[in-house]
A and B are shown apart, each in its own frame.
Chain A
Amino acid sequence: MLTFILHRLLQSVLVILAVALIAFSLFRYVGDPVNAMTGQDTTLQQREELRERLGLNDPFLVQYGRFVADAAQAEFGISYRHRRPVRELLAERLPATLELSIVSMALALLLGIPMGVYTALKPKGILSRGFMSLSLVGVSLPTFLIGILLILLFGVVLRWLPTFGRGEVVHLSGWTTGLLTKSGLQSLILPAFTLALFQMTLIMRLVRSEMLEVLRTDFIKFCRARGLPSRLVHFRHALKNTLVPVITITGLQLGSIIAFAIITESVFQWPGMGLLFIQAITTVDIPVMAAYLCMVAFFFVVINLVVDLLYFAVDPRLRVRRAA
């Protein structure tokens, strides 16, 4: 068990180093950082001094090592556009993105799993058919279109909900949250739902097909033959066996929600990392892009590690095999 975790940690470190290499190459070789930092009236000599001071004349490995060491302390240099340390920018934006992602993932799970179970247990019911057709919409409509339609309906026509920004936020020792104010919560609803819709339909369809599969197995039949009530058969035995693949997908999806909240954030002008990243691309703000890349890799790796550990919690067969 411990060796397995160490093994996984080592792999994670390798992944992060590889991503850092890409981020670093971006930073160092896509355009000239000195050019990006200085104006037209900087003399060649000043440029050379800056180059020396920034360590850009050092060998490749030394520079890469320095980049990794800095990144490990969340130090990604200074944004070209904002003229502020990237670390501060990210720290400001991170809470917004995390809150949005986690709320929408929770929404997706809380709605998706029950809907999946229901459609599996009553595959021919009217409600199930309704869910299945709705899920087609969720899978096939692009996120930005859903966002815009929701804005049109709830923001413009009905005027129930705000359509952009985070609303009022509360500062809690370096973390800003919109979950404690009414306007913050109201602002969260539309973007969170937009982001959750696709995940929800995915989870629903996954739970449904896995559950149908599990319900056909011998041990479920044996549970029925022992006269267990359907409630126990469905929820204690069938659902738990359904969850193993669901955990995998949920973990991967949470990673991609964080990484690809970009579209939703720009539709709703949500002040998160995605929006920051879009702006960084349009202004070729390379330190911000490099930092974003590293952050996303870090999230993915951590989530994957958590997913692996969750397997152990759910499936006793793995625990023993690894321990042996």
Chain B
Amino acid sequence: MALLDVENLSVEFPSRRGTFVAVNGVTIAVQPGEILGVVGESGAGKSTIGNAVIGLLEPPGRIGAGQIRLDGQRIDDLDDDAKRRIRGRRVSMIFQDPQTSLDPLQTIESQLVETIRVHLGLDHRAAQARAVDLLRQVGIPEPELRVKLYPHQFSGGMRQRVVIALALCAEPEVVVADEPTTALDVSIQAQILTLLKRLCRDKRVGMIVITHDMGVIAEITDRVAVMYRGKVVEEGPTSKILGDPDHPYTRALIGAVPRPDLRLHRFPYVDYIEGIAEKPAAISLKDHWLGRSRDFQRRHDGPLLELRDLSIRFPLNTAWLERNRRYVDAVKGVSFAIREGETFGLVGESGSGKSTIARLITQLYRPSGGSVVFDGTDVTALKRDRDLNPFRRQIQMVFQDPYSSLNPRMRVLDIVAEPIRFHRLAGSRAEVNRIVRDLLDHVGLGAKAAEKYPHEFSGGQRQRIVIARALATRPRFLICDEPTSALDVSIQAQILNLLKDLQEELRLTMLFISHDLPVIRQMCDRVGVMRFGQLLEVAPTEELFVSPQHPYTQELLSLMPNFRGLTHRGLDVEDRATG
């Protein structure tokens, strides 16, 4: 008998249009001290399993069939109060985003003490002592002092440690960790995973780690269950699943993970998942609208874009006297050049200034020092919109979050047509419509998408709309700021392939910003590594990955999720993609 048994579990969400079965006949079990991974893409039902185990299904969700047993005792049919007593005490949960999972108005201490007292019935002083002890166990330095602080005074990684401390308050037997490291930087992710693993072993806790990230699975899990559309399609020891998967979906999923160790021409399509329309015909620049009147006569022979000693600082306070003002240097003396047709990657952890550089290039921010030179013209010297608009047309951007970068009240037609109309790139309304439909068709959405609104599309489809919009001005230079980090791995592969295709067809120059090293390796010709607003190292991609020079780059590369036991045997899909 396992510690936690989920047997033939089905979770349904009744709605007006019929019942949606989010989890369909899932059976999993966790032993004490074991880490079970549940992996799958968004909508696969992984989080729903977690919510069902802890008894917090979002209404109107309900358990349709099956049982959940903790130590042999059924817990899914208890009343609300009994379920509440189990939560935190015997089964606990860790959430994805440490920025939002702590009450911002209470100190860490009061949140810990409250939870400890509810479950263990200690008096206030004993609970305080236990709170400090817990913080020490999760590796927070100076816990006696830190315990008095508020959540916002901790960094993301430290907050996640606090969340873990809160989840472990009452020594639970089972912990459900729902994407515990997705919102964290790669170096912090490694620390948190090590911590979870250690706590799990020391305290003999059974842990369910829910994630979409194969790297996390490879890093800490003992066994893994692969979910697809509410069902477990394959389950087994991690090394077996990663190294020798049986199910075609598992194979496709692993194949879509960007390879950290090898550069491929294209990502293998995860065709098992989304039967997308067949590949659109290649664009010939000679007779296509996107190629017409690309009036980009090179004005000089140097690089297309050059940053010269670029800096920007943001004031931290608004003192009236200059000497009282303090600044943070978001970007400090960064210089690099991008040649025409090249893909230049910028990599670094959050807060390193990558996105700020994108905004400086597009003149969304004005630099405090240095200059941005595009095709021989100093763009930073231009002040008036009339002078800047030609550059804005040539430089376009794809943002990270496809959910917030499209106006929800505009039809896709208008979203994509707006830049064409603004820059007067088409003669008539009919021509605009024709161009938009053509663009949408070309990014793989089909011309019919024009009449719909953004909310009718999935994340990956929205990102295609964003790309179509960026292409609508016939740009020469495309900035992609974390274009796929909000997307599932299979969708990521599609979007990155689309970007590669478009780049080849349209001779685009790209600046590709990402924190994800494997993605950078697949996409970029040269890479710059950033930390604290400074550019530490620039090198051709392969050179950087094979022999990094700067110690920080070496550290980053060593933290890259390594797929121990992932032999890529099952990756015959790769041949199809490259062949």
User: Which residues of A pack against B, CB within 8 Å?
Assistant: 3, 217-219, 221-230, 232, 236-237, 240-241, 314-317, 320, 324
Contact = CB atoms under 8 A, between A and B. Distances in A.
B211 interface: no
A244 to B, nearest CB: 8
Interface of chain A, main secondary structure: helix
A3 B96 CA distance: 38
Contacts of B101: 218-219, 221-222
B150 A320 contact: yes
Contacts of A224: 56, 84, 87
21 contacts: A218-B96, A222-B102, A224-B87, A225-B87, A225-B95, A226-B87, A226-B88, A226-B118, A227-B84, A227-B88, A227-B170, A228-B118, A229-B84, A230-B84, A236-B114, A240-B105, A241-B103, A241-B104, A316-B104, A316-B105, A316-B152
A231 to B, nearest CB: 10
Contacts of B170: 227
A324 B316 CA distance: 8
Given A225-B92, A316-B107, 14 more contacts: A218-B96, A218-B97, A218-B101, A221-B95, A221-B101, A222-B166, A225-B167, A226-B169, A227-B84, A229-B118, A230-B84, A240-B106, A314-B105, A316-B152
Contact of B106 (A218, A227, A237, A320): A237
B184 to A, nearest CB: 15
B118 A227 contact: yes
Interface in B71-88: 84-88
Contact of A227 (B86, B153, B319): B86
A190 B234 CA distance: 71
B87 A227 contact: yes
A316 B166 contact: no
Given A222-B101, A227-B89, A324 B317 contact: yes
Interface string B217-243: 000000000000000000000000000
Contacts of B104: 219, 241, 315-317
Contacts of B152: 316-317, 320
B376 to A, nearest CB: 43
A313 B59 CA distance: 35
Contacts of B510: none
B242 to A, nearest CB: 30
Nearest to A214: B103
A68 to B, nearest CB: 25
A228 B88 contact: yes
Contacts of A237: 103, 106
B541 interface: no
B150 A316 contact: yes
Interface centre among A3, A221, A320 (most CB of B within 10 A): A221
Contacts of A227: 84-89, 115, 118-119, 170
Contacts of B86: 227
Nearest to A217: B100
Given A227-B119, A228-B114, A228-B118, A222 B105 contact: no
A237 B101 CA distance: 12
B479 interface: no
Nearest to B115: A226
Interface in B254-307: none
A320 B102 CA distance: 17
Interface string B24-58: 00000000000000000000000000000010100
Given A225-B87, A320-B150, A315 B317 contact: no
A226 B166 contact: yes
B100 A218 contact: yes
B105 A315 contact: yes
B544 interface: no
Contacts of B92: 225-226
A3 B319 CA distance: 9
B70 interface: no
B93 interface: yes
B204 to A, nearest CB: 20
Contact of B93 (A225, A228, A232, A236): A225
A229 B80 CA distance: 10
B134 interface: no
A227 B85 CA distance: 6
Contacts of B317: 324
B163 interface: yes
A225 B88 contact: yes
Contacts of A241: 103-105
A217 B97 CA distance: 11
Interface string B101-124: 111111100000011001100000
Contacts of B118: 226-229, 232
A221 B102 contact: no
A320 B97 CA distance: 22
A324 B54 CA distance: 40
Nearest to A230: B84
A317 B93 contact: no
Contacts of A219: 100-104
B125 to A, nearest CB: 20
Contacts of B85: 227
